[in-house]
């Protein structure tokens, strides 16, 4: 399962020591905060490329990125988008123009000024519009995902350049003066700021880093230069980077003390979840993130024993784990097939057994605090609460599928070599067999291959080779309409290949709707619609957990510049500038 989170929002709890299960330390700002010290942060995977306009960061990379880069806007614990590097953001009445008034006096780590020119260069890189001499070799940045997002062509990625008349997104990016940038849109874009935050993935890079080249072997990938609380001290090492305090960081805490508090953060890769928890217990790691039930329980046991702190994400803005199914080809282009698989799969059992009783069954795309959320008893999904009845209905749906197509219902699910994934699919296979549905599990493949094949399907160039189903983890909460990226026809990441005019209509309308309540209602409609048509087998909410040793405090840190509560465990992501060590 993978989380290519674009928009991640906050856990609802942000108070000191309040972290759900397990015990916690000081999480927010504290008068007792001390300066100095170094932490070792164990992450689950490595990141090869920190040229952010071209990178597709997973959680591990996002955590690192948030240490080095700042974003123009940020997301608070309440899910609101607030100014960050921008001092203020003004939007015109119909959301076709955004003006960013930048903070003055900020420098990148290499001494280059953070100003309008730098922001224009960054935004052009993200939307694939950089021209010489801004890039070493004069080529536009091959920014595929972000090119799609920021240009938002209704016909898909390939048409961004070929049919620009169908671009809804960014029209122009212009420096009005040294500290003012205006971004205009082709069409109203109400949730632009959500995507401009992108979980901290839309960081502002120094012009020097951008000019170093995004091509293969280019320095942009391995030399991180931002305005963030920490500098990249051991470039070009990016797998296990060492970040050291930025002495000139622009942020201070409420008492005027310079941030960050820490001298350094050393990242270590440890893909084995048991070893990440062992490392916390044994003292080799100070922090880590966890997303599986078993290891979260292990960490909670540690904190119950007083030897660690655990911060389990609470309902509100969680992402989801599910079986993603390909609606673009047989068998799942048939609604009876989708319904049969959904009903035959025992989501309760899978969630309980595979996640040690920690996670809960999800009701659809949006968690409790996200607009468009549906309650479990009113989510429009086929009713699978009574197992026997659900199985019977599954058999009927499978039989209907066979009548319509002449073939019995069977499909292949792709898996990686992650043990948990294979176990989950094996459990699902047993469930489906009870309804006479045949699911085979592929030999393990690389995650990149799954994504590559899914992209081919989404782009329409490789539908035949696109997976029929695979386990996926995604859709952390925030602005609900921002999820259109994953479901709009023609999107390169519409892995479920949902090519539905109603979904498109609702999302495009939501994207342009300025009123929050109206937008949330549109999201609710699209959520309900997708549930009723069973476009995927939504399974469980993922309670990401941050585990630390007992010397670590301030994991969420001080309030954001406008006083908003800082993001706290946004699917494993949080700021680093407020962390301090007690003895």
Per CB under 8 A, residues contacting other proteins are 46, 48-49, 54, 56, 142, 144-145, 157-158, 215-218, 221-222, 236, 238-240, 268-272, 274-275, 277-279, 281-284, 445-446, 448-449, 451-452, 455-456, 459, 461-462, 492-493
Nearest-approach distance from CB 249 to other proteins, in angstroms? 27
Q: Which is nearer to other proteins, 223 or 536 (CB)?
A: 223
Residues 6+ apart with CB under 8 A from 215: 137, 139
From the CB of residue 583, how many other CB atoms can be counted at a distance below 10 Å?
5
Task: DSSP letter for 212, please.
Answer: T
Query: At residue 219, what are phi and psi to the nearest 5 degrees?
Result: -70, -20
Q: How far apart are CA 162 and CA 149, in angstroms?
A: 16
Task: Return the number of the residue (284 or 360) whose C-beta is nearest other proteins.
Answer: 284
Shortest spacing between CB 267 and other proteins, in angstroms = 11
Please report how the helices 387-405 and 335-344 are oriented relative to each other, as an axis angle in degrees rounded to 10.
Answer: 150
Q: Is 400 exposed, middle or buried (0-12, 13-18, 19+ CB in 10 A)?
A: middle
Q: Pick between residue 77 and residue 471 the one whose CB is nearest to other proteins.
A: 471
Could you tell me the two tokens for 485?
């990226």
Q: At closest approach, how far in Å is the CB of 376 from other proteins? A: 32
C-alpha 226: how far from its chain's center?
21
As a 3-state breakdown, the chain gives helix, strand, coil percent values, each rounded to 5, of: 30, 20, 50
Task: Name which of 236 and 408 has its Cβ closer to other proteins.
Answer: 236
User: Using CB atoms within 10 A of its CB, is residue 437 exposed (0-12), middle (13-18) or buried (19+)?
Assistant: buried
* C-beta closer to other proteins: residue 131 or 376: 131
Instruction: For residue 532, give the H/E element and its range.
Output: helix 516-532
Query: Smallest gap, in angstroms, from Cβ of residue 299 to other proteins?
Result: 11
Query: Which run of H or E residues covers position 162?
Result: helix 159-162
Q: Which is nearer to other proteins, 78 or 240 (CB)?
A: 240
CA distance 118 to 88: 17
Tokens standing for residue 582: 């007690």
Please report how close the Cβ of residue 518 comes to other proteins at its closest, in angstroms: 31
CA distance 189 to 210: 27
The tokens describing 445, both together, are 């493949």
Q: Which residues pair with 89 in a beta bridge?
A: 100
Helix (H, G, I), strand (E, B) or coil at 274: helix
Closest CB 82 distance from other proteins, rounded Å: 28
Q: Which is nearer to other proteins, 212 or 503 (CB)?
A: 212
**Nearest residue (CB) to other proteins, 286 versus 513:** 286
CB of 237 to other proteins, least distance (A): 9
205: region left, alpha or beta (phi > 0 left; psi from -120 to 50 alpha): beta
Q: Residue 409 gets which letter from DSSP?
A: -
Residue 406: CB minimum distance to other proteins, A: 31
Closer CB to other proteins, residue 416 or residue 481?
Answer: 416
Residues 339, 534: contact at Cβ < 8 Å?
yes
CB of 363 to other proteins, least distance (A): 28
- Least gap, CB of 174 to other proteins (angstroms): 28
Report the 10 Å Cβ neighbour count for 522. Answer: 24
Cβ–Cβ < 8 Å for 120, 72: no
366 Cβ contact partners less than 8 Å away, ≥ 6 residues apart: 372, 373, 374, 475, 477, 480, 483, 523, 527
Nearest approach in angstroms of CB 492 to other proteins is 5
Smallest gap from Cβ 207 to other proteins, in A, equals 20
Residue 236 to residue 238: CA distance in whole angstroms: 6
Per-residue CA distances from 180 to 149, 283, 391 (Å): 23, 47, 60
Q: How many residues does the chain have?
A: 583
**In the complex, what is the shortest distance from the CB of residue 102 to other proteins, in angstroms, rounded to a whole number?**
30
């Amino acid at each position: 399962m993978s989380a290519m989170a674009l928009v991640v929002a906050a856990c609802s709890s942000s108070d000191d020591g309040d972290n759900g299960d397990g015990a916690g330390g000081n999480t927010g700002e504290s008068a007792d905060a001390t300066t100095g010290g170094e932490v070792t942060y164990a992450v689950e995977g490595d990141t090869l490329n920190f040229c952010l306009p071209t990178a597709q960061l997973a959680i591990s990379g996002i955590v690192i990125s948030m240490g080095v880069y700042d974003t123009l806007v940020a997301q608070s614990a309440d899910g609101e988008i607030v100014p960050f590097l921008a001092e203020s953001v003004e939007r015109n009445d119909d959301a076709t123009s955004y003006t960013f008034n930048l903070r003055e006096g900020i420098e990148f780590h290499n001494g280059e000024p953070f100003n309008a020119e730098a922001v224009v260069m960054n935004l052009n890189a993200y939307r694939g519009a950089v021209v010489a001499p801004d890039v070493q070799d004069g080529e536009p940045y091959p920014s595929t995902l972000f090119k799609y997002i920021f240009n938002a062509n209704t016909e898909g990625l390939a048409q961004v350049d070929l049919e620009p008349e169908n671009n809804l997104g960014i029209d122009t990016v212009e420096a009005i003066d040294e500290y003012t940038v205006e971004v205009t849109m082709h069409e109203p874009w109400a949730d632009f700021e959500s995507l401009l935050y992108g979980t901290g993935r839309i960081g502002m890079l120094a012009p020097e880093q951008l000019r170093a080249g995004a091509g293969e072997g280019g320095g942009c990938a391995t030399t991180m230069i931002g305005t963030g609380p920490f500098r990249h001290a051991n470039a070009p090492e990016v797998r296990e980077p060492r970040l050291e305090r930025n002495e000139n960081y622009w942020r201070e805490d409420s008492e005027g003390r310079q941030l960050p508090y820490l001298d350094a953060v050393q990242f270590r890769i440890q893909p084995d979840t048991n070893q990440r928890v062992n490392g916390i217990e044994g003292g080799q790691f100070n922090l880590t993130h966890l997303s599986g039930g078993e290891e979260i329980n292990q960490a909670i046991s540690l904190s119950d024993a007083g030897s660690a702190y655990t911060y389990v994400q609470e309902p509100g803005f969680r992402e989801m784990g599910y079986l993603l199914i390909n609606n673009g080809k047989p068998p799942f282009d048939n609604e009876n097939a989708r319904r049969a698989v959904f009903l035959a799969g025992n989501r309760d059992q899978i969630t309980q057994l595979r996640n040690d009783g920690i996670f809960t069954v999800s009701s659809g795309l949006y968690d409790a605090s996200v607009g468009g959320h549906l309650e479990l008893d009113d989510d429009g999904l086929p009713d699978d609460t009574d197992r026997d009845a659900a199985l019977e209905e599954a058999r009927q749906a499978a039989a209907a599928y066979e009548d319509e197509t002449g073939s019995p219902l069977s499909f292949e699910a792709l898996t990686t070599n992650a043990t948990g994934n294979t176990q989950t699919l094996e459990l699902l296979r047993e469930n489906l067999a009870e309804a006479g549905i045949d699911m085979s599990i592929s030999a393990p493949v690389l995650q990149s291959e799954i994504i590559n094949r899914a992209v081919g399907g989404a782009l329409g160039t490789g539908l035949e080779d696109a997976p029929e189903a695979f386990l996926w983890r995604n859709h952390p909460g925030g602005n609900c309409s921002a999820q259109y990226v994953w479901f709009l026809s023609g999107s390169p990441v519409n892995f479920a290949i949902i090519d539905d005019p109603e979904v498109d209509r609702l999302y495009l309308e939501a994207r342009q709707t300025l009123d929050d309540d109206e937008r949330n209602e549109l999201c609710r409609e699209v959520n309900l619609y997708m549930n009723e048509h069973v476009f995927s087998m939504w399974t469980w909410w993922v309670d990401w957990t941050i585990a630390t040793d007992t010397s670590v405090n301030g994991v969420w840190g001080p309030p954001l510049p406008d006083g908003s509560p800082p993001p706290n465990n946004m699917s494993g992501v949080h700021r680093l500038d407020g962390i301090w060590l007690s003895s």
